[in-house]
Structure 1
Amino acid sequence: MVRKVRVRGGARLEVIAPRLGYQILLDPPLLESLTWQTPDTLSKLIEEPYGPRGSH
């Protein structure tokens, strides 16, 4: 689920994965920085959202 929410510092894009229990708020600069990533980098972020296995 994706929706626009207003918070104290302005608007954010809220992305929720209800089945997995994940949620993130993205501000405009962060959202824009995601557009600069290569498909390979984005795939790695999705596959391992907390970093490489064994690093946490």
Structure 2
Amino acid sequence: MATSGFPVNGARLAELLGFDEPVQNSFDAAQLPLIDVGFEAASCAMTLALSIGTFL
């Protein structure tokens, strides 16, 4: 989940992109645990509700 299906040389890719080393855990790389998805959705809904409320 959230990784590449292609045989990628992580060390070489990190070097080309200017990183020190590849991250071993894909969730650390994405920094988006499943808990944050729900919080982000609730935050978007709250912002939308507040924006609509200012027009009423």
Higher-Rg member (1/2): 2
Which has the higher relative contact order, 1 or 2, with Cα contacts under 8 A spaced 6 or more apart?
2
Both structures adopt the same fold (TM-score exceeding 0.5): no
Higher strand share: 1
Higher helix share: 2
Q: TM-score range by the shorter chain?
A: under 0.3
